[in-house]
A and B are shown apart, each in its own frame.
Chain A
Amino acid sequence: MAPNAFSAYVRSAPRRSLNAVDESIEGQISQWREYVLRRGTLGAAEVDELEDHLRTQVADLGETGLSPDEALLVAVKRMGNLDDLTREFAREHSERLWKQLVLTGTPEPDDRSRRRDFWMMMGYAVAAAVAIKIPALFGREFADDDGFYIRNVGLLVLALLAAYFAHRRRLRGPGLVWLVVLFAMGAVFANLHPFESGGSTELLVGLHLPVFLWLLVGFSYLSADWRSGHRRMDFVRFTGEWFIYYVLIALGGGVLLMVLSATFAAIGIETVEVVESWLVPCGVAGASVVAAWLVEAKQSVIENMAPVLTRVFTPLFAAMFLASVVALIWTGNAIDVERDLLILLDVSLIVVLGLLLYSVSARERTAPPTLNDYLQLVLVVSALVLDVLALAAILSRISEFGFTPNRTAGLGMNLILAVNLGWSAWLSLGFLRRRRPLAALEKWQTDYIPVYALWGAVVTVAFPPLFGYA
């Protein structure tokens, strides 16, 4: 950012009529505030302090006869180059990232409630760890292969996560009843059907039920606001950040377990049993709550991480998909409907959707299109082409050999993705041609979210009986 970009920015703000001057300066101050906050180095309290300075300066200058507008310009200029200022703050607070993660640090006024939140989170994390071990009382072991955990692991973990948010958000009344009822129904459908052990429908339920339940967690997370598109976008952000935290915790946990096993092996004690049936399941369950809490409590740490990752990976995935499309056209081969390949393809399409959702959520609404937006369109269109090719492959397979649970699930999912990607491509094209606001794309994405939940529910409820629990 050029040294005085903000001054230029303020100057370009439209002049208002005289009696609206104070209001206009309020708007400019809050713009300035947002502008500083967005850089991420300064916390809200520090910006409060700077804002107080700015206001006092404006009031002081106003007494010497400057208009509020002019006074604000001078005050902002005197505040100095924001790049230098944030660098100075960053140097002073370089320890902050780590301090925030390890929870020490000097107590601040609102620290008591923060500590209460911490213990509440610990309670739910422990409860999740216990919940996942309860089936062991009835002889179901995590390491067993009988499919019980395939169907129920998501249920056990996400129920506690949803309960955690319901508690935090003080969810009451019909909302709470719905949440409990839907979770109970999830539990019923996951366990009621006489699944053939190791069959496809069991695995499909294991994959699709958590999608539905995750959106229930979203319902709990947003409590009363779940209908608002903006708030749904918050849940999308939460999901991305939660995922990053979860991966980080999982990586750390993996290293810890490796060191632990190696150490005990050196002492001559076998730990495989303990690790497999206690540490891994309890860690998997507890970490979900911890990650959710970290997203909330440490919002400013990773907040800037997910958009950066999106930025980095949008062009890379665009290049990969483009290369695949070119390769398909070049060789003239149809997509081979190997199950693994299709799953791989679906996973990468979901990643594309995630990238799209994320870059929309992190983007400034009013900024004009940038190179990144064009890359995003390339990404979406090439993903759409691949998706349509995969659809064609699945359909030809179905017409030849008939419906199977996996093919039907693949068909449904690819259709859902194709509809989303197709309309998203159209909307982003409209945005790039400046025919439509970016908000249209955002609205489309947030409106589409319930479709995933619905599909997850359909697969869970209807597929097992439809395909004879195979």
Chain B
Amino acid sequence: MRIGKDLVAASAGPLVMAILAEGESYGYAILKRVSELSGGKLVWTDGMLYPLLHRLHRLGYLEAKWNAPQVGRRRRYYRITPAGRKALADQRTQWMVVDEALRGAWHQMRSALTSAPLPGGA
């Protein structure tokens, strides 16, 4: 199953912020977590995560810092900010409204299908 582009784009921001609300992380690990959370069904083009991270950073929802270990390559870590948490909470309520509405609609659809089959559908 492939999830539509628009849906991926809409959900990516809150998903990334929710993952970072668990603790600071870096690009590759965030992507792994996304795939874990969705049971491998939500697959992003890897590169696209980074413009998103930069946008959230610019909006002040994330903090970023380079971690340069003594040996090895430096890596950029992201952490959610208080403003990010607030935005996340806000988006969460929005998503819940959408979710609830959709659930209601699915439910109604199912009961409509079972009680009154479509004409000519016998």
- Assess whether A92 is in contact with B28, with CB atoms less than 8 Å apart: no
Asked if B6 is an interface residue, CB under 8 A from chain A, the answer is no
Interface of A is mostly: helix
Q: Which residue from chain A places its CB closest to the CB of B66 in the assembled complex?
A: A109
Q: Which residues in B have their C-beta under 8 angstroms from that of A372?
A: none
- A85 partner, pick from B47, B55, B73, B75, beta carbons under 8 A: B47
User: Of A80, A82, A92, which contacts B55 at CB under 8 A?
Assistant: A92
Provide the bound-state CA to CA distance between A84 and B75, in Å: 24
Any chain A CB within 8 A of the CB of B93?
no
B17-37 vs A, Cβ < 8 Å mask (1 yes, 0 no) = 000000000111000000000
Which residues of the other chain, B, contact A49 by a CB distance below 8 angstroms?
Answer: 27, 50, 76
- Is B54 in contact with A52, judged by CB distance below 8 angstroms? no
A: interface residue count bin:
20 to 34
Complex Cα distance A52/B67, Å?
12
Asked if A265 is at the interface (CB within 8 A of a chain B CB), the reply is no
Expressed in whole angstroms, the minimum distance between the Cβ of B71 and any Cβ of chain A is: 14
Q: Is B45 an interface residue (CB 8 A)?
A: yes
Q: Mark B75-111, 1 if CB is under 8 A from A, else 0.
A: 1100000000000000000000000000000000000
Nearest opposing residue in chain B for A80, CB measure: B45
Interface membership of chain A positions 53-92, coded 1 if the CB is closer than 8 angstroms to chain B and 0 otherwise: 1011100100000000000000100111110110011011
In the bound complex, residues from chain B placing their C-beta under 8 Å from that of A177 are: none
Residue of A nearest to B74 (CB): A48
* Across-interface contacts of A55 in B (CB, < 8 A): 73
- In the assembled complex, which residues on chain B have CB atoms less than 8 Å from the CB atom of A51? 73
Cβ-based interface call for A34 (8 A): no
Partner of A79 from B47, B51, B58 at Cβ < 8 Å:
B47
Given the complex, which residues of A lie within 8 Å of B47, measured CB to CB? 50, 53, 79-80, 82, 84-85, 88
A84 touches B45 (CB 8 A): yes
Asked if B45 and A53 sit within 8 Å, CB to CB, the answer is no
Nearest CB of chain B from residue A112's CB, rounded to whole Å? 15
Let me know if A93 is at the binding interface, CB within 8 A.
yes
Q: How many whole Å from A413's CB to the nearest CB in chain B?
A: 51
User: Nearest chain A CB to B17's CB is how many angstroms away?
Assistant: 17
Asked whether, in the complex, the Cβ of A89 is within 8 Å of the Cβ of B46, the reply is no
- The 28 sampled A-B contact pairs (Cβ below 8 Å) are A45-B66, A45-B76, A48-B76, A49-B50, A52-B73, A52-B74, A52-B75, A53-B27, A53-B47, A53-B50, A55-B73, A57-B28, A57-B46, A60-B28, A78-B45, A78-B46, A79-B45, A80-B46, A80-B47, A84-B48, A85-B48, A85-B50, A88-B48, A89-B50, A89-B51, A91-B51, A92-B54, A109-B66
Q: A-contacting residues of B (Cβ < 8 Å)?
A: 26-28, 45-48, 50-51, 54-55, 58, 66, 73-76
Pairs of residues from A and B, 8 with the lowest C-beta to C-beta distance, nearest first: A80-B45, A88-B51, A85-B47, A80-B47, A56-B28, A79-B47, A92-B51, A78-B46
Q: A50-B50, A84-B47, A85-B47 are in contact. List 4 more A-B contacts (CB 8 A).
A: A45-B76, A55-B73, A79-B46, A85-B48
Which residues of A does B touch, CB under 8 Å? 45-46, 48-53, 55-57, 60, 75, 78-82, 84-85, 88-89, 91-93, 109
